[in-house]
Structure 1
Amino acid sequence: MPIEGDRRSDETVLGALYEQQAHRLQAFLTGILRDPELAREAVQSTFRKALESAGNVRPESLKAWLFQVAYNEALALRRRQGIEAKSLRRLSWIHRSDPPGAEEQMILEESFERVRAALQKLPQEQARVVRLRIEQDWTFARIAEELDVPLGTVLTRMRLALQKLRKQLEAPE
């Protein structure tokens, strides 16, 4: 690695490293995440972190460091996905074979109304992502394409929306 603090040299080295390793990282992360779009996001995140702190890594360790960062990014993405999926399950309709009784139906309708009211309080961008994900059952990649924003932006909007919804729905009426 070039002289510490020489950002232009770091960028040149990282550019070359990207050319050499990006496709390997993509394949590695696709194997972990089972989703090429998420793998691309993790590769971008990895190189963003490399740009920020690779100057502190010994040149002979750079490749191993890069793969370790990529692995950690993949795990973080999977964790976020799990949390979001769990939250979506909580918000979604529970399918059952027997219809609910009158009292249970009233409780469900009241719950749905609380969710609708909470959704209306969300910023428009976040509410749109939630609606496309839940009502249209679109993937996050498709939502990103439709809204013409990066996948990471869509995932962040969803995460923030779910946090706000959870807080609103857990609050006493």
Structure 2
Amino acid sequence: MTHPTEHRLTEAEIAALYQEHGEELRRFLWGVVGDWSQIQDIIQTTFHKLVEVGHETQPESRKAWLFQVAYREALADRRKKGTQKKVLGQLQEIQPEPTSVNDDPLVRAEMTASIREAIQQLSPDLQQVLRMRIYEDKTFIQIAEELDIPLGTALGRMRNAMHKLRGKLAWTQRDT
């Protein structure tokens, strides 16, 4: 039995595929995400996957495989950004409507300190899930796998953390 690494694509093969399809992938991804910095990240991830598992693809189907991987990565990136936007929106619901006072850097710094303090008051389990989801952009499936807990537990911890943060931050807002 041969070892799988013996059949991995060579650097020259990967470079040739990048040279042949890189620009076309960029144009394709521009239509999907419309942000050059994201496109570069997605292409890097796509070719990283090519390095890892590209040898398992048929040479005649590698172009289609590259486009499929890039498209899936773009969609995953869009989902991450949507989730971040949703969480930030939920946190903003806690805070008062923007006014000229909230534009003051001192007020924003105080709000940030309040949020950090509220997060630190959560249990370590809730803090861990919250940080993994918001700051590390991990999916709940990834969080559940890494923590070796059921998916429902990961979701419940996030919901519990958000609920407790709303309560703590609403209380802070009433005090000011």
- TM-score, L = length of structure 1: 0.57
Matched with 2:173 is none
C-alpha distance in 2 between matches for 1:12 and 1:61: 18
C-alpha distance in 1 between matches for 2:89 and 2:62: 40
Change (3 A) 1:27 1:62: same
C-alpha distance in 2 between matches for 1:67 and 1:112: 41
Matched with 1:133 is none
* 5+ residue gaps, structure 2: 100-110, 123-130, 144-156, 169-176
Aligned residue pairs total: 125
Does the CA contact (< 8 Å) of 1:10 and 1:54 recur in 2?
A: no
Q: CA deviation at 1:115?
A: 2.5
1:61-104 alpha-carbon deviations (Å, 9 max, x no partner): 0001110010000000000000000001111245379xxxxxxx
Instruction: Provide the aligned C-alpha RMSD in A.
Output: 3.7
SS state at 1:34 partner? coil
Does the CA contact (< 8 Å) of 1:42 and 1:70 recur in 2?
A: yes
Question: 1:157 is aligned with what amino acid?
Answer: Y
1:126-170 alpha-carbon deviations (Å, 9 max, x no partner): xxxx9xxxxxxxxxxxxxxxxxxxxxxxx983536xx99865343
Change (3 A) 1:113 1:37: closer
Give the share of equivalent positions with the same residue, in percent. 34
Change (3 A) 1:121 1:35: farther
Matched with 2:46 is 46
Change (3 A) 1:119 1:35: farther
